Chains A and B, each alone.
Chain A
Amino acid sequence: AQRVTQPEKLLSVFKGAPVELKCNYSYSGSPELFWYVQYSRQRLQLLLRHISRESIKGFTADLNKGETSFHLKKPFAQEEDSAMYYCALGNSGGSNYKLTFGKGTLLTVNP
Chain B
Amino acid sequence: SQTIHQWPATLVQPVGSPLSLECTVEGTSNPNLYWYRQAAGRGLQLLFYSVGIGQISSEVPQNLSASRPQDRQFILSSKKLLLSDSGFYLCAWGRAISGNTIYFGEGSWLTVV
State the Cβ distance, B67 to closest chain A Cβ, in Å: 18
> In the complex, are the beta carbons of A86 and B43 less than 8 A apart?
yes
A88 neighbours in B (Cβ, 8 Å):
44
Q: Interface 1/0s, chain A 34-58, versus B by CB < 8 A? A: 1000000001111001010000000
State the Cβ distance, A88 to closest chain B Cβ, in Å: 8
B43 neighbours in A (Cβ, 8 Å):
6, 86, 101-104
Given A95-B32, A103-B41, A103-B42, A49 and B96 contact (CB-CB distance below 8 Å): no
- Cα A96 to Cα B97 in complex, Å, equals 8
Given A43-B107, A99-B46, A101-B44, A94 and B98 contact (CB-CB distance below 8 Å): yes
> In the complex, are the beta carbons of A34 and B96 less than 8 A apart?
no
B32 neighbours in A (Cβ, 8 Å):
95, 97-98
> In the complex, are the beta carbons of B41 and A9 less than 8 A apart?
yes
Within 8 A of B (CB), among A44-102: 44-46, 49, 51, 86, 88, 90-102
State the Cβ distance, A23 to closest chain B Cβ, in Å: 12
Q: Interface 1/0s, chain B 26-50, versus A by CB < 8 A? A: 0000001010100001111110010
B94 neighbours in A (Cβ, 8 Å):
97, 99
B99 neighbours in A (Cβ, 8 Å):
32, 49, 51, 90
B2 sits at the interface (CB 8 A) = no
> In the complex, are the beta carbons of B57 and A97 less than 8 A apart?
no
A-B contact pairs, 9 of them (CB 8 A): A9-B41, A43-B107, A86-B44, A90-B98, A94-B98, A95-B51, A96-B51, A98-B59, A101-B36
Nearest 8 interchain pairs by C-beta? A103-B43, A101-B44, A95-B96, A44-B104, A32-B99, A92-B98, A43-B106, A46-B101
